[in-house]
Amino acid sequence: MQNLPIYLYQNNLDIILDADPTVRGVNQVMYQRDLTIQKGVKNQVRIQFKNSDQKRISIYSTQTYIFSMFDAIDQRLLIEKPLEVLTETTSTRGVALLTLTESDTLNLSPTSYQYSVKRLDNDGSYIPAYTNTYYGVAGTLRLKDDIYPVLQPSTTIANWTKLFNPSTLKYEHSSGNIYANPEFNGNNALHTIAFYLTAYRGQVIVEGSLDNTPNSGDNFAIISTQTYSGFSGIEYQNFNGVYSYIRVRHIPAQAPAEPDNDNPAYYGRFDKALYRS
């Protein structure tokens, strides 16, 4: 049996604030670690304020501390949020909490950014805090996207093969065989397909096959059949199952007094379909 340890701990970050008049020396630190946060989830970072002597200093809820995150290349401000000063105890002296919500990082690319922390002074100006004892104001923030799998693009079905079915004496339009990625699906595999229709009249048939090399014959089974009477818009369908291939066919409706069902002015358009497995 394999054992998998999982660690849940606080994200702590030290910040130097030169606001302590009792400092007698400077205890220089070789480097400050990069701040790492994850995209798409709530991140909470405990920021520990220290003086250049590496001693924890008191901060108060009546003081305002601001966290800023900006692009490392053109210095464009991306996020600016106030810090929550925690009630001081023995373990929380000089600690403030930074909370970044899911929406704060939703539209940002996973890469390196810069951050800074500043304090609002009594005269309305800002006092800089430092990320290290070498008076470096800006630190490095690494935004990662390791929580969720990468969403794969949908398969676009925009080209149709028109065939005449001698058994029904109607034209049918087929997407051909679309690979359904069975290796990534479990027994309850969810498939989603969206039809983009413009004043469409006719039947839309979704079929699936378990064959590894299906042809255009009878080795497809019907999954669903929908009939439309001049529908415009997007129609969604979900279905479950482990299929090797799926196929979409649409059979246009035949206009009254027409010799066949090959009149787009009557049956409208099947613009495209988007498929995701």
What is the C-alpha separation between 247 and 170, in angstroms, rounded? 18
Tell me the pLDDT tens digit for each residue of 172-181.
999 989 998 8
List of residues 6+ apart from 62 with CB closer than 8 A:
none
What is the C-alpha separation between 62 and 120, in angstroms, rounded? 10
The total of other beta-carbon atoms located within 10 Å of residue 268's CB is 19
Structural domains in the chain, sorted by start:
11-144 (2.60.40.10), 155-276 (2.60.120)
* Residue recorded with tokens 């464009």: 76
Tell me the pLDDT tens digit for each residue of 56-103.
888 888 889 999 999 978 889 999 999 999 988 888 898 989 999 999
Residue 274 has pLDDT above 90, yes or no: yes
Model confidence band, residue 149 (pLDDT cutoffs 50, 70, 90): confident
* Residue recorded with tokens 């919500």: 101
Q: Region 231-252: what's the mean pLDDT?
A: 92
pLDDT at 94: 87
The end-to-end CA distance of the chain, in Å, is 32
Distances (CA, A) of 188 to 13, 114, 211, 240: 44, 44, 18, 6
What is the C-alpha separation between 15 and 129, in angstroms, rounded? 7
Q: In this structure, what DSSP letter does residue 184 have?
A: G
pLDDT at 162: 93
What is the percent of the chain where pLDDT is above 90? 41
Distances (CA, A) of 1 to 5, 6, 7, 80, 228: 13, 16, 20, 47, 55
pLDDT at 271: 94
| Average pLDDT of the chain to the nearest whole number | 85
Residue 186 has pLDDT above 70, yes or no: no
> Which two structure tokens, joined as six digits, stand for 42?
């709530």
